[in-house]
Amino acid sequence: MTVIHVPRTEQARGEFDGGAILERKPIAFPREGGRLRAVSTLFYWAHAWSPAGGLIDLHAHQGFEIMTFVVGGRIHHFDTAGDRWRTIEEGGAQIIRAGSGISHAERLEPGASIFQIWVDPDMRRTLEQPPSYSDYPPRAFDLIMEAGYAVKAYTGPGGPMELETPGVVVREYWLEPGTHRLPLAPDQVMVGFLRDGALALGETTLAPEEVALVRDAEGLDVRASEPGRFFTVACPARPAYRTLARTE
């Protein structure tokens, strides 16, 4: 097993709306700095928050699938496919399948925070498709009890969010103190973000808002020293097509 540890100080930074919205980026765009770049089909991951509320103004996307997870508070979303504002509460999520082109805006209410995660569904194909949008209220996601932990599936087996990008598995784990074995196959690569608690992956210890990239693991054994939440994205270690990141 190979683990790359990314503390907060090694994550790229960003902001919107004159600093009203702040970001750290577990996976940054090329040339933004930060420790990690695109991993497999996982192209970008930002953790954004707004103490007093703020707006990400209307802007365009093509090709990518863009997932937004509301991890705190409430946000409002507008896009040119639906042509209206929608509200997404804490625990809810959305997908923009940008296809041939779509523009969208997001407004974060005071105290709101989000994960925005981009995946690459094979641009050569999706750039020819019409854009689409789906949102999912908190009740769309079941919290399933496993041996010693609870898990919420967003995409992949048991998850309601449907992606064009193959093999993307997004899950969040609620871990009680102790050792737990999380599902991970050797042909997958995983990036995990510790929302709270304290977690050890082999010799690597994570503090809140730190990130781990895990490769070459037959299952993932983690040790929680206190209750915590661990948000993970797993993808095929070797995508079946040439991703945008591999062509840059």
List pLDDT tens digits, range 104-136: 999 999 999 999 999 999 998 999 999 999 999
Q: What is the mean pLDDT of residues 154-179?
A: 96
- Distance between CA atoms of residues 187 and 137, nearest Å: 31
Q: What percent of the chain has pLDDT over 90?
A: 91
Q: What is the mean pLDDT of residues 232-248?
A: 86
Quick one: pLDDT at residue 146? 83
* The Cα angle at residue 248 between residues 232 and 116, in degrees rounded to 5: 30
Least confident of 50-59, 142-151, 158-167, 239-248: 239-248
- CA torsion sign for 67, 54, 22, 105 is positive
Tell whether pTM > 0.85.
yes
Quick one: pLDDT at residue 248? 44
- Distance between CA atoms of residues 18 and 37, nearest Å: 25
Q: Where in the chain is the domain with CATH 2.60.120.10?
A: 11-139, 143-236
User: Comparing C-alpha atoms, which of 106, 118, 134 is closest to residue 50?
Assistant: 106
Quick one: pLDDT at residue 82? 81
Q: Is the pLDDT of residue 227 over 80?
A: yes
User: Comparing C-alpha atoms, which of 195, 20, 197 is closest to residue 111?
Assistant: 20
* The Cα angle at residue 206 between residues 152 and 8, in degrees rounded to 5: 100
The HSE-up count of residue 235 (CA atoms within 13 Å, CB side) is 25
* Owner of token pair 């990400």: 56
In CATH terms, the fold of domain 11-139 is Jelly Rolls (2.60.120)
Other CB atoms within 10 Å distance of the CB of residue 28: 22
- The CATH number corresponding to 143-236 among 2.40.110.10, 2.60.120.10, 3.20.20.20, 3.30.365.10 equals 2.60.120.10
Local confidence band at 184 (pLDDT 50, 70, 90 cut-offs): very high
Cross-strand pairs, 49: 22, 113
- Distance between CA atoms of residues 81 and 189, nearest Å: 33
Write out the two tokens for 42.
Answer: 């996982």
- 147 vs 156, which has greater pLDDT? 156
Q: Is the pLDDT of residue 247 over 70?
A: no
